Amino acid sequence: MDKRNSKYRWIVFVTVLFSYLLMASQRTAPGLITEQLMRDFHVTASTIGLLTSIQFLVYTSLQIPMGILADRYGPNLFLIVGATLTGLGTIIYSLGTHEIVLFLARILTAVGDATIWVNMVLILASWFHKREFVRLIGFAGMTGSLGFLLATVPFSAWIQLLGWRTAFFSAGLLLCLCGVLLYFVLVKKTKQIFIEEPVIIVEDIQREKMAVILRRIFSSRQAWALFFCHFGVVGGYVGFISSWAVPYGMNMYDMTRSEASQLIMIGLIGALIGAPLSSWISSRLEMIKRPYIVVQIAVLIGWFTFLLCKGQPSLYLLITLFFIIGIGYGASALTFAAVRQSFPLKDSGIVSGFANTGGFLSAVLLPIIFGYILDYFQATSGNVENGYYYGFIAPVIFSVLGLVGVFFIKENHQGAQENTNIHSS
């Protein structure tokens, strides 16, 4: 039985996405208890900021190594281990009695989280036909946004009901159980159902040296184009909306914290719509580049509008802009549809990791750049409005790089050659 034509592939799809949902929720869930952590552990806001940023730094730095390992040893093992590590990190976080323990727990969680996207892309690529994959990658992207949504009101209510330690402990335990579930679905049950499929598929493939693989990817125009595509649309959303949106609303529009947090929800709704919508349009048109060009242009116009309005557009326009930027972030799943189309499966892991590095590199850089600009204007003139206005230059530049990247994509309408020489570990 061919895996790509079996009904069992949908069980794999649901199981992997459910695990991704829970893992994505733990990226931002600690933000719900910032004040409690500062009070319980007697730490400063800068320490909490470092605790938050360290996870993104670890995640970003592991994307390329994870892609190499996934291509070499198969994605199943790393996804199982990743879910388990995320769960263990969350459990240790809930039991922590010192800030050092919190840091170690978040690093462990970040290592586990770094496994999910690249390996999930490879698993879906091996279980689904290319045309199905283009549609389903949008739903995968939407699942990540649903994970962020889960880490807002639902998890906040769970914390209020049980207390933060018990809430995080239960989430970690559930993630560990997901690791067990993934083992049964991806490994044990798969071997029982597809007995006739060759298990040792890679014996006839000559192992390439790491340096050769990296040289080939880093010299690929297509890989760099996808890197900058992701760089352009991810950093604005994750870097600004997830970090500076609330203080921006409070400082520029005199919103309460609760009102300003609704801006994040607007961007999140856009991301939930943008992921499946862009993938559906791309699948219907049987092309990726043109829809992605439209997305990149829309995001660039969105950020440039902030400059045109001196950093303070009208409230209705502001809501529209956050929604558009959210759609752009959701549509960033097209990056990995392009990876699947452009590269053989044996290189898909490292290229996916390389492209994902671009997105999260911009997410790390933008808050730092924005914060530096705000600090400069507050120190020199005390004018926060000017700080935000000049700060918006950064996401505009990022978006320009994203647009340049998408124009350099070389679309292969026939798709890359199907390659079944992959691990079924």
Q: Where are the domains of the chain?
A: 1-197, 201-425
Neighbours of 334 (CB within 10 A): 31
127's tokens: 């279980």
Q: In this predicted structure, what is the pLDDT of residue 358?
A: 92
Q: In this predicted structure, what is the pLDDT of residue 13?
A: 94
425's tokens: 């570990």
Residues 373-419: tens digit of each pLDDT? 888 888 887 788 888 999 999 999 999 999 999 999 988 754 444 44
Map the chain to HEC letters: CCHHHCCHHHHHHHHHHHHHHHHHHHHHHHHHHHHHHHHHHCCCHHHHHHHHHHHHHHHHHCHHHHHHHHHHHCHHHHHHHHHHHHHHHHHHHHHCCCHHHHHHHHHHHHHHHCCHHHHHHHHHHHHCCHHHHHHHHHHHHHHHHHHHHHCCHHHHHHHHHHCHHHHHHHHHHHHHHHHHHHHHHHHHHHHHHCCCCCCCCCCCCCCCCHHHHHHHHHCCHHHHHHHHHHHHHHHHHHHHHCCCHHHHHHHHHCCCHHHHHHHHHHHHHHHHHHHHHHHHHHHHHCCCHHHHHHHHHHHHHHHHHHHHCCCCCCHHHHHHHHHHHHHHHHHHHHHHHHHHHHCCHHHHHHHHHHHHHHHHHHHHHHHHHHHHHHHHHHHHCCCHHHHHHHHCHHHHHHHHHHHHHHHCCCCCCCCCCCCCCCCCC
Identify the band that residue 27 occupies on the pLDDT scale cut at 50, 70 and 90: confident
Q: In this predicted structure, what is the pLDDT of residue 201?
A: 39
pTM of the predicted protein model: 0.78
Q: In this predicted structure, what is the pLDDT of residue 1?
A: 59
Q: In this predicted structure, what is the pLDDT of residue 29?
A: 84
Average pLDDT, the chain: 85
Q: Region 136-154: what's the mean pLDDT?
A: 85
Among 78-87, 161-170, 178-187, 377-386, where is mean pLDDT lowest?
377-386
Q: Region 176-198: what's the mean pLDDT?
A: 85
Classify each residue of 170-205 as buried b or exposed e, where b means 16 or more C-beta atoms within 10 Å of its C-beta.
Answer: ebbeebbebbeebbebbbeebeeebeeeeeeebeee
Whether 102 and 30 have beta carbons less than 8 Å apart is answered as no
Question: CA-to-CA distance for 323 and 311, rounded, in angstroms?
Answer: 17
Residues 248-297: tens digit of each pLDDT? 888 899 888 777 777 888 888 999 899 889 988 998 888 999 999 999 99
Identify the band that residue 101 occupies on the pLDDT scale cut at 50, 70 and 90: very high
- The answer to whether domain 1-197 and domain 201-425 are alike in fold is yes
Which range of 74-83, 141-150, 342-351, 367-376 scores highest in mean pLDDT? It is: 74-83
Identify the band that residue 360 occupies on the pLDDT scale cut at 50, 70 and 90: confident
Pick the CATH number of 1-197 from 3.40.50.1820, 1.10.490.10, 1.20.1250.20, 3.30.565.10: 1.20.1250.20
User: Is the pLDDT at 39 greater than 90, yes or no?
Assistant: no
pLDDT above 90 covers a percentage of the chain that reads: 40
Cβ contacts of 64 within 8 Å, gap of 6 or more: 350, 353, 354, 357
* CATH number for the domain whose boundaries are 201-425: 1.20.1250.20
Residue listed under structure tokens 């809430």 = 167
Which range of 20-34, 36-50, 323-337, 404-418 scores highest in mean pLDDT? It is: 323-337
User: Is the pLDDT at 35 greater than 80, yes or no?
Assistant: no
CB-count burial class (<10 Å; 0-12, 13-18, 19+) for 235? buried
Residues 109-119: tens digit of each pLDDT? 999 999 998 89
Which range of 2-16, 81-95, 135-149, 266-280 scores highest in mean pLDDT? It is: 81-95
Q: In this predicted structure, what is the pLDDT of residue 413?
A: 56
User: Is the pLDDT at 193 greater than 90, yes or no?
Assistant: no
Whether 98 and 142 have beta carbons less than 8 Å apart is answered as no
**CA dist list (Å): 410 to 70, 151, 296, 329, 360:** 25, 38, 16, 21, 23
